[in-house]
Amino acid sequence: MRWRFWERKKTSPQWKVRSRANRQSASRLDLTALVPTAADLLAHASASALLIAGEYGRVAREAWSAKDRDELVRAEAQVLSRYETLRGLLAEYTPDPIEAMAEPLERQGDALRHMTADAWYERVGTCYVVGGFLSDFYRLVAGGLPAGIGDKIIQAVDGTDPEELAAGVLARIIAVDEAHAWRLSLWSRRVVGDTMLIARSALRGGSEATRSAELYEPVFTDVLTEHTRRLESLGLTA
C-alpha cells in the first residue's frame, strides 16, 4: 500500500540549493588535453538534458502527491528548456544534431538504466544527483572552450531550478522518516560513480579504458565538491 506521507503534518526542514552564479569559479585547471570540441560537448550535454527530462517526467507520473507532481513536472519543463537551448547551439555546429546525439544518447541511456531504483523517492534522488552533477560538470568543462560558445553553454546549464524543485520533494520525504535520508544517502553514493562515467565519456579520450583515471581527477574535484554541498543541503551524507 502506498504511504500517503503528505497527510502527516510535519514541518519540513529549511533547505536551499546555492545558485551556481554565486559560487566561486572552479579551480584553475589546464583543460587543454581534456576539453572536447564544442560540437562534442554540446552533443553530450544535449543528450544528458533530454534523458534527465525524461527521468523527471517518469517520476512525476508516479508522484505520491499533487504537490510532488507539480514540482517534478516543473523540473521536467526546466530541463527541457535547457535541452532546447543546447540543441539549438548544437545545430550551429553540425547539420544533423540528432545524429550527433545518437552515440551519447545510447551510452548515457544505458548508464541511466543501470541506475533504476525500487523506491520512487530514490528515483527522484537519481534526478537530483545526476542532473546536478552533470550540469556542474558541463559548466566546468565549457570554461575550457573559446569564450563565445563556452559562455553560451555555461549560461544554458547554469540554473539550479530543477534541483531546487527536486530538493523540495526530497526534503518532505526526509522530514517524514529519517530512514528515507539513510536510503537516499546510500543511493546517492551508488549513482555518483556511474554519473562520473557519463561525464568522463564527454572528455577527449574519455572513452579509452587505457587512460588513467588520475588524468581526470582534477576535473572532478570541483564537481564532487558541489555534489557534496548539494547533498548536505538536504542533510544527506555524500
Distance of CA 23 to the CA centre of its chain: 17
pLDDT of 238 = 72
Amino acid at 175: A
Please tell me the pTM assigned to this model: 0.85
Q: Give me the CATH code for the 33-232 domain, please.
A: 1.20.1260.10
| Cell numbers standing for residue 122 | 530514490
CA distance linking residue 162 with residue 89, whole number of Å: 21
- The confidence band for 151, taking pLDDT boundaries of 50, 70 and 90, is very high
- The confidence band for 136, taking pLDDT boundaries of 50, 70 and 90, is very high
CA distance linking residue 195 with residue 126, whole number of Å: 10
Which phi and psi angles does 79 have, rounded to 5°?
Answer: -70, -35
- The confidence band for 210, taking pLDDT boundaries of 50, 70 and 90, is very low
Residue 144 pLDDT exceeds 50: yes
Mean pLDDT of 77-81: 98
CA distance linking residue 147 with residue 219, whole number of Å: 19
Shortest CA distance to 169 belongs to which of 206, 110, 123, 213? 123
Shortest CA distance to 64 belongs to which of 161, 162, 170? 170
Q: Which helix (H) or strand (E) holds 222?
A: helix 217-232
CA distance linking residue 186 with residue 202, whole number of Å: 26
Burial (CB < 10 A; 0-12, 13-18, 19+), residue 36, is: buried
Residue 23 pLDDT exceeds 90: no
> Average pLDDT over the chain, rounded to whole?
86
Question: For the chain, which residues make up each domain, given as ranges?
Answer: 33-232
